[in-house]
Amino acid sequence: MLKGLNEQQIDAVTENGNVLLTACPGSGKTRALIYKIAYELERLNNSKKSIVAVTFTNRAADEIKKRIRYHNTNDSSLWAGTIHSFCLEWILRPYMCYLDELKNGFSISDEYNSESLINDLKKEYGLKYWEPICTRYLVSGEKEEVLHRELVDDYHEYLNNEKLIDFDQILHYAHRIISEFPKIAETLKNMFHLICVDEYQDTQELQYAVLAEIIKATYGNCKMFMVGDADQAIYGSLGGVAKSIVEIQAQFGNVDFIGKELSGNYRSNQQIIDYYRNFQTTEIEIEALGENASESGIITYSKAIHKDNIHDYIAQIIEDKITSGIPENEICVIAPTWYLVIPMGRKLKTLLQEVNFDAVGLSPLLKNKENLWFKIARLFLVEPSPKSFFTRRRWATELINELKDLGIIIFEESEYKSKKLLKLINSVVSEEDDGLAHLEECFLKLFEELNIDKNRNDFLKLHWETFFEGAKNRLENPDFNFAKDIESFRKMFKHESGVVVNTCHGIKGEEFDTVIAFGLLHGKLPNWNENTENAANKLLYVICSRAKRELHLISETGWTTNSGNPYYPTTQLNNVDYDYNL
């Protein structure tokens, strides 16, 4: 069971108590998490108990389920998903009757719907489009926003009138339920054998509080296994807090947490490690232990390339690496923000037409991830195969359950509903090449087969409008230049081929032979809203620690602020004294 783990990993996996595992980049954090889940699943002797894995992204949850199956471990007692999915599935939907705000039903306001509403309110209140608005709640139940409280009140009033809740309210209402009704927290604690939390350093206060209420419940024997790295805490502007073991113990009812550490790095050579330690804020020693540990690396830093020429410069690096034998999916192009990433991906595709690109973040659909029609779309966009079967079956089960919550029961007399739904979806075809037209035809054919009239359900109608309206607006935005064909829509779910073009937030947890990072400018990294030395160091630490062997850093010239002042290189990077290769 533990074959292939080092001593530190085995020590963490086999610990019976609550664990806070601090893991440096490339140290096998995910490996330890997977083995911990598999180890506890094998020891689980109560079929009514579950193991929960709370991940930062749905993609990470899918990866956990996939790798658990590689262990030939029965995963029927494993639940994996984001904290918002956890709150929805385990707290809000089963116990919504306990709150007046939810007892008559609710729908989720997806990212596009919430953004559109807030942008409309900004115009009404005379605010600039870039001014930040916080819709988070404090643990006390108060709204975090102070400066623009009236705008946020109007936003919440609209959601309430439409029986909608957003992501921040998912956490707020979940916390209210389990804190106001302790028996529910006790029930959950008795249901869980273990709760694992990945990337704990990006957990928000209210997210900590939800988990703490469960662990503090009087009865039950649920344990915690939290893994992360304080140096990679790059979501501070979104409320992420990297708490110390003392702070976590105090919040979780003074239960004992045992601190463990993974310090060996199996990803990068020592040269890369020594470089990114310039941005480290903790004192953890990091030693290269992989096969490439002593290999020479390449680290370049350019501050002379104009922004209008940067596409050609990066394209040449990519072309050189591929010619030298580096696989496309081992090359990553990173920038701090989407508005830099999107045009870069478009330009690189034009310059390198023979090269495949994994431009997942360039999809016009991704702001609708919690929209019901997005969940149906992914079942059409991910082609059936043995490799995708388990993921698609899980998605089908989730869709069936969500429809059930809406009072829509499908295949009422059937035992294998998810397989039957997949078979039906696989049989639906469309000859439309336009992505949105293709999906619309598939949706209508599917619901006709299911004998469901979307126009008779307010939830289905609302989500239909926001899904297609949001996607259409993004497709028509000339600044983004999204591809509109159905094959490009399918590519957003293909994560295993092509040069990756993404933000530094989007590639967290991943690794590449060659990392090319641009836009390393004060005001972009970090942005003006989190203009601190600590934020800059953490972002640079995450960017540089993705590289195994080569790192190309760029602070391009030519950018100016709204007032006409030139951007200059990120101070923390510019101050590093290093003998670069270029």
> What pLDDT is recorded for position 433?
95
Question: Which structural domain, as residue segments, surrounds residue 398?
Answer: 366-490
**Does any domain span residue 101?**
no
**Domain tally, the chain:** 4
Whether residue 292 is contained in a domain is answered as yes
Residue 366 predicted with pLDDT over 70: no
Per-residue pLDDT tens for 444-460?
Answer: 999 999 999 999 888 89
Encode pLDDT of 497-547 as tens digits: 789 998 888 887 889 999 999 999 999 998 777 768 888 999 999 999 999
Give every CB contact of residue 518 below 8 A, 6+ residues apart in sequence: 310, 314, 333, 334, 335, 340, 344, 554, 556
In this structure, the answer to whether residues 213 and 317 fall within a common structural domain is no
Token pair 């997806």 in the structure block, residue: 110
**Contact assessment for residue 514 and residue 547, using Cβ atoms and an 8 Å cutoff:** yes
Same domain (yes/no): 118, 133: yes
Pair 53, 61: CB distance under 8 Å: yes
Same domain flag for 192 and 233: yes
Q: What is the pLDDT of residue 4?
A: 85
d(CA 219, CA 212): 14
**Residue 50 and residue 191 in one domain:** yes
What percentage of the chain has pLDDT greater than the value 70?
97
Q: E strand or H helix at 550, and its extent?
A: strand 547-554
The pLDDT of residue 72: 81
pLDDT of residue 96: 94
For CA atoms 327, 332, 338, 343, give the dihedral sign. Answer: negative
- Whether 582 is covered by a domain: the verdict is no
Predicted pLDDT of residue 342: 82
From CA 510, how far away is CA 354, in angstroms rounded?
Answer: 24
Does residue 96 fall inside a structural domain? no
Strand partners, 299: 551
395/516 same-domain check: no
pLDDT tens by residue, 534-553: 889 999 999 999 999 999 99
Residue 249 has pLDDT above 70, yes or no: yes
- Tokens representing 316? 């040449």
Whether 321 has a pLDDT exceeding 80, the answer reads: yes
Domain final residue pick, 460, 490, 520: 490
Q: What is the mean pLDDT of residues 191-195?
A: 97
| Start-end of H helices in 288-427 | 310-323, 338-351, 372-381, 389-405, 417-427
- Are 372 and 517 contained in the same domain? no
454 within some domain: yes
Burial bucket for residue 323 (CB in 10 Å: 0-12, 13-18, 19+): exposed
Distance CA 105, CA 93 (A): 9
**Tokens for 515?**
């990392």
- 579 part of a folded domain: no
End residue of a domain, out of 490, 509, 535: 490
Do both 480 and 390 map to the same domain?
yes
Q: Are residues 514 and 473 in the same domain?
A: no
pLDDT in tens, 369-394: 778 999 999 999 998 988 888 889 88
pTM of the model: 0.85
213 and 75, same structural domain? yes
Write the pLDDT tens digit of every residue in 388-445: 888 898 889 889 988 887 889 898 766 688 999 999 999 999 999 999 999 999 999 9
Q: Which of 56-70, 224-238, 294-308, 551-565 has the weakest average pLDDT?
A: 56-70
Residues 82 and 226 in one domain: yes
Residue 169, pLDDT > 70, answer: yes
What mean pLDDT do residues 480-508 have? Answer: 80
For residues 460 and 395, membership in a common domain is answered with: yes
Give the pLDDT confidence of 94-138 residue by residue, as tens digits. Answer: 999 999 999 988 888 888 789 889 999 999 999 988 788 999 999
Cα–Cα distance, 218 to 185 (Å, whole number)? 9
Taking phi over 0 as left and psi of -120 to 50 as alpha, with beta for the rest, 25 belongs to beta
More confident site: 219 or 124: 124
Q: Which two tokens stand for residue 329?
A: 């999916």
Residue 581 lies in a domain: no
Reference 263, options 512, 33, 9; nearest CA is 9
pLDDT given for residue 317 in this prediction: 97
Indicate the average pLDDT of the chain. 91
The rounded distance, in Å, linking the Cα atoms of 165 and 139 is 17
How many CB atoms within 10 Å of residue 432? 15
Q: Residue 270 has what pLDDT? A: 96
Q: Is residue 1 part of a domain?
A: no
Q: Which two tokens stand for residue 399?
A: 């869709």
403 and 287 fall within a common domain: no
Q: State the CATH number of the domain containing residue 568.
A: 3.40.50.300
Q: How many CA atoms lie within 13 A of 79 on its CB side?
A: 21
